[in-house]
A and B are shown apart, each in its own frame.
Chain A
């Protein structure tokens, strides 16, 4: 009996090997045949095709010209300037000085640390809050649509306006937050007026934009097939099990997307320029983020070459982090897998 089974297994594997070899042989032959094929003269495009191609280029040209002029040329310029002492007037070669100086500049260290703290707290907090907000407004309810609009509304407000709005909201004397605190007998909170509370206030303010993440989560939830939930219900899964085993795995592509964009956005953030004291740096440089440092060097101190080098260092860091995120993204579940 055992001998028969072993023979059958051997035959099966032999036939598989034969099929594989046959496939390989055919593919090799096919490739050779393609190579041997006489090269076809390039077919002349018809007038219609030419017209279509020209039309295609015309339609693309605004984007291409815009990309060239407003993205690639400035990028190249900043790369070029990063190797020079450039103040907008004089250009003197600096070699790698700007890059080396970035590692010796205490302000860079301080701003990088502030940015790291901001990113480490802000990213998970926003992801989790927007996720739960989306869960709340995902269910069909009488006022669901109203809540969705209300939660998304802050995202529509321009950044400058919302920055100024928060400046007023956090005003130590007349701000609505402190009025509320005072009305329930609590003392006023200093918000951006003290170094120790500035970062907390900034992170609190960051929650203003969770409506943007909520919309992405909602779109992910809508793409989860209903029959998965129905089957799970039939199998006796409770609400938490359905959430943990269906909702979360099925929304991992959006989690990943939100994570990548949040990491990039948080590291580049310089919104404090609009509302924070001391030209966006906060008291004791408590809000001196890396993006603010770049702005300050380029626009205030006129060290455009140095600011360009700092920008390229940030670009390298973001590229490495994004690469790592993609390389460790096996936990992301794409439906077709």
Chain B
């Protein structure tokens, strides 16, 4: 064969392989208006299709599952849940893959391009908006309805539905929350006691003023110890929407209006940001970009706002036995909001066509169903989940059967489950497109960062708001 012919043959092969890679691996999501049912809370809809949950218990299926990487706790929890699931379906196997939480969207896109989208996908409240808007995940209402029909549960009666609402939109549910996550205030009893600070005011329902009073006492103590610039009372975690968004909402502000227009340019948001800046000026909160020499995790700061399980910190040698939790301090009385969210699992469209791969699709749902069942929740707890159950019969930490509270019954675990009516997730993401999420998140982080600046050349709060509005307008253009 002539060299030129060989060259053209090689070139055409290259083009062929490349074209296949570029186009064939792109999985077009199914038309949401055709087979995928859309329903409301009760599951009533004209388009709804009935799901047949019948399965042979010996069905042999391999399911792919994606969980967050670098999270050993999630891995042991899910392994424990798989073990108990295998008691019902012994021949179902799982192939586990991982996704980085801080690079979630990009990795999900890559998985889709590579044709590697899993059957079951870990998600949280924020990423759920991304997955939903791209029709990557299936609505679960028809499955829930089928489960109810079978007698697995009574949705309204058995579950803490407010957490399911965080995994849905207008009554259509897209994921099952594996636990109810609420931002609470962790505190280090030993550190406060050593500093001679009274903990009398630290109780569920305490106010922001109570909290700030303790922070000021800690400031005085730290200054006396010679740590004027490097010790701070609290890891506030501003910049994490589960903290800053509820604070903004507590002042009556919001990031977006319900019609999707920008809501930041308001007196309420200004008041919230002014309060945050005051914390920096009073050296209660570390300034943006500066490093704090103290942290709750290292046992040198007495408070932190977090939604983690108590075991996460109590397992650290420096904190063991010294910590407890209390509800997030209430800001502005009735208006006060508390950050909440879900981490859970969703059923992707890759789980299989409901007709041709009925078994696989149903087995994947059965696993989700198992996660929210009594046995499933208990097995997750046995695997290390120390967060409140999404089931009403297991949510109460004083319930001796609730395994999630085991080992910590002497702590104030009620802090996780109180004030459900005040809980808000980062629902403002529903007003923007998925390709705007990254820029909007960055702009909001910039707003918080500029607010928490202590640079002599920092912007005034009015300027911060003006810049944020302008940036958001660009992001949404």
- A positions within 8 Å CB-CB of B: 68, 72-73, 76-77, 80-81, 86-91, 106, 171-174, 190, 192-194, 277-279, 281, 296, 298-304
Contacts and interface: CB of A to CB of B under 8 A. Distances in A.
Greatest chain B CB density within 10 A among A88, A91, A281 is at A88
A13 B460 CA distance: 87
A172 B289 contact: yes
A300 B438 contact: yes
A296 B435 CA distance: 11
A147 to B, nearest CB: 33
B106 A300 contact: yes
A172 B454 CA distance: 12
B160 to A, nearest CB: 32
A68 B17 contact: yes
A88 B18 contact: no
Interface stretch (B23-31, B118-126, B335-343, B384-392): B23-31
A77 B27 contact: no
A137 to B, nearest CB: 36
26 contacts: A68-B14, A72-B18, A76-B18, A80-B18, A80-B19, A80-B22, A86-B26, A88-B108, A89-B28, A89-B109, A89-B112, A89-B136, A90-B26, A90-B28, A90-B29, A91-B23, A91-B26, A106-B474, A173-B230, A190-B455, A193-B289, A277-B289, A300-B439, A302-B106, A303-B435, A304-B109
Contacts of B291: 171-174
B275 interface: no
Interface string B414-441: 0000000000000000000011101100
Interface string B210-252: 0000000000000000000110000000000000000000000
A159 B364 CA distance: 41
B210 to A, nearest CB: 29
Contact of A73 (B21, B27, B438): B21
A153 B22 CA distance: 41
Contacts of B229: 173
Contacts of B442: 278-279, 281
Residue of B22, B27, B105, B474 with highest tally of chain A CB at under 10 A: B22
A1 B447 CA distance: 95
Interface string B439-458: 10010011001000001010
A106 B474 CA distance: 10
A302 B446 CA distance: 21
B69 interface: no
A77 B136 CA distance: 23
A302 B18 contact: no
Nearest to B26: A91
B134 A89 contact: yes
A301 B292 CA distance: 31
Tier of interface size on chain B: 35 or more
Most B C-beta atoms less than 10 A away, residue of A68, A172, A190, A302:
A302
B434 A87 contact: yes
B14 A72 contact: yes
A233 B289 CA distance: 57
Contacts of A171: 291
B286 to A, nearest CB: 9
Given A89-B135, A91-B23, A172-B290, 7 more contacts: A72-B18, A87-B109, A87-B134, A88-B108, A89-B28, A90-B134, A299-B103
Contact of B106 (A173, A190, A281, A299): A299
B110 interface: yes
A302 B29 contact: no
Interface string B151-191: 00000000000000000000000000000000000000000
B57 interface: no
B316 interface: no
Contacts of A190: 455
Contact of A194 (B21, B28, B457): B457
Nearest to A277: B289
B15 interface: yes
A72 B21 CA distance: 11
A98 to B, nearest CB: 13
Nearest to B438: A300
Nearest to A300: B438
Contacts of B21: 73, 76-77
A193 B455 contact: yes
Given A80-B22, A88-B112, A302 B14 contact: no
Contacts of A301: 435-436, 438-439
Contact of A296 (B22, B292, B436, B438): B438
Contacts of B108: 88
A304 B434 CA distance: 13
A84 to B, nearest CB: 9
B314 to A, nearest CB: 28
B293 interface: yes
Given A88-B110, A88-B112, A172-B289, A278 B446 contact: yes
B195 interface: no
Interface string B375-410: 000000000000000000000000000000000000
Nearest to B439: A301
Contacts of B110: 88
B280 interface: no
A179 B330 CA distance: 40
A75 to B, nearest CB: 8
B29 A87 contact: no
B113 interface: yes
Interface string B274-311: 00000000000000011111000000000000000000
The 6 closest A-B pairs by CB, nearest first: A88-B109, A76-B18, A300-B438, A299-B106, A193-B289, A77-B22
Contact of B22 (A76, A173, A299, A303): A76
Contact of B18 (A73, A172, A194): A73
A15 to B, nearest CB: 44
A193 B290 CA distance: 9
A73 B113 CA distance: 14
B353 to A, nearest CB: 17
A109 to B, nearest CB: 13
Contacts of B22: 76-77, 80-81
A89 B438 contact: no
A194 B455 contact: yes
Contacts of A77: 18, 21-22
Nearest to B102: A279
B27 A89 contact: yes
Contact of A76 (B15, B135, B289, B457): B15
B449 to A, nearest CB: 8
B123 to A, nearest CB: 16
A169 B7 CA distance: 53
B434 to A, nearest CB: 6
B280 to A, nearest CB: 14
Contacts of A73: 14, 17-18, 21
Among B135, B436, B438, B474, the most chain A Cβ lie within 10 Å of the Cβ of: B438
